[in-house]
Amino acid sequence: MCPYSPTRKKVHLFPPSTAYNLNWLSPELLEQNLEGYDERSDIYSVGITCCELANGTVPFAETPTTLMLIEKLAGATPHLLDCTTYYVDTGQEMGEDGEENACSYISEQQTQVLTSRKFSDSFHSIVELCLSRDVDKRPFASNLLQHAFFKQTKKCSTSLSEMLRPALCLDESNVCEINNELECMLNINDTFSSSIQVNKTEWKFDGLDNEDKDKSTM
């Protein structure tokens, strides 16, 4: 998030590229106090990424940068949005005061999706741990791997072939079917290619030609 550069005059100065990553940075990293920060700041970024993947948008996406910094330092905590954390009647997320600013604006079309889904308790729990404002309550990476969310993932017995469905292995039984699909895809590709109009571009260097002629006569 904030790569070290030997040319930077002061440690607490952020590189220009960090401006695009402020949504993922932890409160203590943004605060830059004398207590400093450690690798648990990256754990906070993991929690933000979980919210981004689950909710379809990064927290604080519609929040001005200055307000986002104030909200983070004040303890506003993003969370997963589902039927247990989203109010249908008011259009506001459940949580502590100011927490609604931690999540970006949700359109009416997304409301039906949010109210019809429910994430597991272990998923809610691990995101809450990662996004804890109190650094001491935020786990290190080694401790985070012992969470129930990862333990239940290890027990998954899904085979690779099941994960790759509907992809099919090429063998004698389905070679004709796959060939038909390939021919269909090639026909579609040819149709799109023929519909694309490419304009021929000609470059004229009249000014340069005149300069070359002037130089040759000198």
pLDDT of 133 higher than 70: yes
CA distance 31 to 24: 14
Give the pair of three-digit tokens for residue 112. Answer: 């039906």
Report, in angstroms and rounded to the nearest whole number, the Rg of the chain calculated over CA atoms: 27
CA distance 48 to 79: 9
- pLDDT tens digit sequence for 19-76: 788 899 999 998 888 888 899 999 999 999 999 999 888 999 888 989 999 999 999 9
Q: 3-state DSSP call for residue 148? A: helix
Sign of CA dihedral 12, 13, 15, 17: positive
Contact call for residues 119 and 83 (beta carbons, < 8 A):
no
Q: What is the mean pLDDT of residues 201-218?
A: 57
The pLDDT mean for the chain works out to 75
Ordered structural domains, the chain, with CATH: 16-158 (1.10.510.10)
Residue 101: its pLDDT value, please? Answer: 45
Q: What is the mean pLDDT of residues 204-217?
A: 56
- pLDDT tens digit sequence for 69-111: 999 999 999 999 988 887 655 444 444 444 444 444 566 767 7
How does DSSP assign 167-189, residue by residue? -----TTTHHHHHHHHHHHHHHH
Q: What stretches of 33-159 adopt beta strand conformation (E)?
A: none
Residue whose tokens read 């080694």? 142
Residue 200: its pLDDT value, please? Answer: 62
- pLDDT tens digit sequence for 184-200: 767 766 666 666 565 66
Residue 132: its pLDDT value, please? Answer: 94
